[in-house]
Amino acid sequence: MDSVADIGGATGWGKVDPPTPQDKDAVFHEAWEGRAFALTLLTMGRVSGQNLDAFRYALSRLDSKSYFDDDYYGRWLNASELMLVESGVIAPGAVDARARKNAGEDVEEPADPELNKPDYAATAAGSLRQVEEAPRFAVGDTVTTLTDVDSDANKLPVYVRGRSGVVEAIQPAHVFPETHARFLGEKAQHVYSVRFASTELYGADAEKFDLTIEIFDDYLQEKA
């Protein structure tokens, strides 16, 4: 999560423009958005052989222009293209070349690459799993999040790292996105709802409130 997708508490991203008012009852506000949605669902599974966590991982690896400038469903299309390239379904630059060719340009399209779909199969539907191990922490325990995480596929926001909070609830066990996104196994584990004081996260001068965050077991340790 060390990426453009994790900007909580960060500065330097420029002006935020409020979205244009739209019909709140409309699922898609333009026809292309519906097509982008359907294409992404098809791409992340049947076509590329990947999964939802891999799609989210692809989103987090987009450059800032591809993430911010192309709107919500444009971002989905950019991540879908990345998954197709990494699975060897299309070559890098193939989408751009085809679009330019369809617009009438004399463009040579790249050759088809060698297919490289991940060797992946889910053990069950959805992300909820049963685990034999009892939860390491109980409601009321004070825990501290890790400071260092090894993978750019992690799901621990930067602003909460190395901070201490109190376990409020133990959630059902889930597939671990960090390994699942990279096809290193489901590594199902407990998830905890941890309550943090605003001053713990943002400093003594912060507005006073509590923030509760769901955190995977791998990212927690006993408070020293």
Along the 224 residues of the chain, how does pLDDT read in single tens digits?
A: 567 777 776 777 777 777 777 777 788 989 999 999 999 999 988 899 999 999 999 999 999 889 988 889 999 999 999 999 999 999 999 999 999 999 999 999 999 999 999 988 888 889 999 999 999 999 999 999 999 988 889 999 999 999 999 999 999 999 999 999 999 999 999 999 999 999 999 999 999 999 999 999 999 999 87
Question: Which among 86, 93, 74, 77 is positioned nearest to 50, based on CA atoms?
Answer: 86
**Domain residues of the chain, as ranges?**
1-118, 142-222
CA distances from residue 123 to 42, 129, 200 in whole angstroms, order as listed? 20, 9, 39
pLDDT of 27: 85
pLDDT of 120: 81
pLDDT of 2: 65
Is CATH 1.10.472.20 the right assignment for the domain spanning 1-118? yes
Structure tokens at 121: 């199969």
Q: Where are the alpha helices (DSSP H) in 15-160?
A: 31-42, 52-60, 64-68, 71-86, 94-102
pLDDT of 1: 58
Structure tokens at 184: 């290193």
CATH of 142-222 given 3.90.550.10, 3.40.50.720, 2.30.30.50, 1.20.1290.10: 2.30.30.50
- The answer, as to whether pTM is greater than 0.85, is yes
pLDDT of 132: 95
- Give yes or no on whether 1-118 and 142-222 have one common fold: no
pLDDT of 218: 98
